[in-house]
């Protein structure tokens, strides 16, 4: 039996990271988790152990800790890295930009330096549809020009993409996530927002659970069919599976060899939209939740939220064809799984 490939998963106890750990295991990889527990809980490791049937390797620490990261590479010799570890709250990034640049940009550089030193040249990177800003046309393609970032958070994702493109010794699958929602079907892992949630689905499920009084729909006067903003919501399990497809591609495409041989037609950096290709308005999401769960959502339409784009959803042709991945779970499943997770919290 050949040994499983070790994959370093930074931020592996977070929302998307923890689901990806399960999918990596399912696909025959051995996930090695590093997480600083800044926005996650150690209980997630217990849940992963239960779901995996073994306790995965876990190191509590920070990607900014150079000695720790170097040590991880020496001890575990990961053949690729999935880099989730980053701060992700738009408002917080406006209040504390230094923290965002330190963690999201300096942390990436520290990680890349360790990878280079240890000859690890494969990475899957968590980017975001936020790099498109308010697009002129929808759906957005990977070739759609990016717009100046509206927040330090968005700027860190754009900077990270530039850094990864320039370091063309490293083969990168850059995944631009749309709006990840839902939870594992067992409801043993899911999203754990700290404090008052900023995002729609955790706020909605907490409202239905009685933790919040009422959901405010941010703006009902946009130029959309029902006046509310449109997003491409994607089930976190579909998103996790996209990471496995990206890892598989890193081990099969031979792209980095072609780049190192000087093939001008090959780029070490590839970017993919990870969405369903379908946009839903906030009111459509609320209706889908009520229909899928039989619960009523207490909401009212309020003012617009500063910084919201009106409508964005993904063109998924490239990811479907090149990566061979497409989202399988519908909005009703996303809502059901999010609600089951909330009830289990």
Which residues bind to ligand UFG, rule: CB under 6 A?
A: 90, 128, 130, 153, 179, 198-200, 203, 215-218, 229, 231, 282, 305, 308
Instruction: Read off the DSSP letter of residue 268.
Output: S
Measured from the CB of residue 194, what is the shortest distance to ligand UFG in angstroms? 15
Measured from the CB of residue 284, what is the shortest distance to ligand UFG in angstroms? 11
How far apart are alpha carbons 94 and 117 in whole angstroms? 34
How far apart are alpha carbons 233 and 223 in whole angstroms? 20
Measured from the CB of residue 62, what is the shortest distance to ligand UFG in angstroms? 21
Nearer to ligand UFG, 10 or 126 (CB): 126
Per the annotation, the verdict on 233 as an active-site residue is no
Nearer to ligand UFG, 45 or 236 (CB): 236
How far apart are alpha carbons 181 and 279 in whole angstroms? 14
Nearer to ligand UFG, 156 or 266 (CB): 156
Tokens 């009422």: give the residue: 214
Measured from the CB of residue 304, what is the shortest distance to ligand UFG in angstroms? 8
Nearer to ligand UFG, 199 or 287 (CB): 199
Measured from the CB of residue 329, what is the shortest distance to ligand UFG in angstroms? 17
> Which alpha helices (DSSP H) does 59-186 contain, by range?
66-76, 90-95, 97-100, 107-117, 152-166
Do residues 64 and 107 touch, judged by C-beta distance below 8 A?
yes
> Which alpha helices (DSSP H) does the chain contain, by range?
15-26, 43-52, 66-76, 90-95, 97-100, 107-117, 152-166, 200-208, 236-252, 255-260, 282-293, 317-318, 331-344
Closest by Cα among 308, 142, 149 to 231? 308
Do residues 215 and 204 touch, judged by C-beta distance below 8 A?
yes
Measured from the CB of residue 79, what is the shortest distance to ligand UFG in angstroms? 28
Nearer to ligand UFG, 27 or 159 (CB): 159
Nearer to ligand UFG, 22 or 314 (CB): 314
Catalytic residue among 29, 153, 203, 280: 153
Tokens 């496995």: give the residue: 244
- Which residues on adjacent β-strands are paired with residue 270? 173
Residue nearest to ligand UFG (CB): 229
Closest by Cα among 184, 285, 295 to 235? 184
Do residues 147 and 97 touch, judged by C-beta distance below 8 A?
no
Cis peptide before 139 (omega within 30 of 0): yes
Catalytic positions are 153
């Amino acid at each position: 039996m050949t040994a499983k490939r070790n994959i370093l998963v930074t931020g592996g106890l977070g929302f998307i990271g923890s689901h990806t750990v399960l999918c990596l295991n399912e696909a025959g990889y051995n996930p090695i988790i590093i997480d600083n527990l800044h926005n996650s809980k150690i209980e997630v490791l217990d849940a992963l152990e239960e779901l995996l049937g073994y306790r995965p390797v876990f190191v509590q620490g920070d990607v900014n800790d150079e000695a720790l990261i170097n040590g991880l590479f020496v001890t575990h010799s990961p053949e690729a890295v999935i880099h989730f570890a980053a701060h992700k709250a738009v408002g917080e990034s406006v209040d504390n930009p230094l923290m965002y640049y330190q963690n999201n940009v300096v942390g990436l550089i520290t990680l890349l330096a360790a990878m280079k030193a240890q000859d690890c040249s494969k990475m899957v990177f968590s980017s975001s549809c936020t790099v498109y800003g308010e697009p002129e046309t929808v759906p957005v393609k990977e070739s759609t020009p990016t717009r100046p970032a509206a927040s330090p958070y968005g700027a860190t994702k754009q900077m990270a993409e530039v850094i990864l493109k320039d370091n063309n010794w490293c083969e990168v699958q850059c995944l631009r996530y749309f709006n990840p929602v839902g939870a594992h079907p067992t409801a043993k892992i899911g999203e754990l927002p700290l404090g008052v949630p900023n995002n729609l689905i955790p706020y909605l499920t907490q409202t239905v659970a009685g933790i919040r009084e009422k959901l405010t729909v941010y703006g009902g006067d946009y130029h959309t069919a029902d006046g509310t903003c449109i997003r491409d919501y994607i089930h976190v399990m579909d998103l996790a599976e996209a990471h496995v497809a990206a890892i598989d591609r890193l081990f099969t495409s031979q792209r980095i060899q072609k780049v190192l041989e000087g093939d001008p037609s090959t780029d070490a950096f590839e970017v993919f939209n990870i969405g369903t290709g379908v946009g839903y308005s906030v009111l459509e999401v609320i209706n889908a939740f009520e229909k899928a769960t039989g619960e009523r959502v207490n909401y009212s339409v309020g003012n617009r939220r500063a910084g919201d784009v009106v409508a964005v959803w993904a063109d998924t042709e490239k990811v479907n064809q090149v990566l061979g991945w497409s989202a399988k779970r519908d909005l009703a499943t996303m809502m059901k799984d999010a609600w089951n997770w909330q009830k289990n919290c």
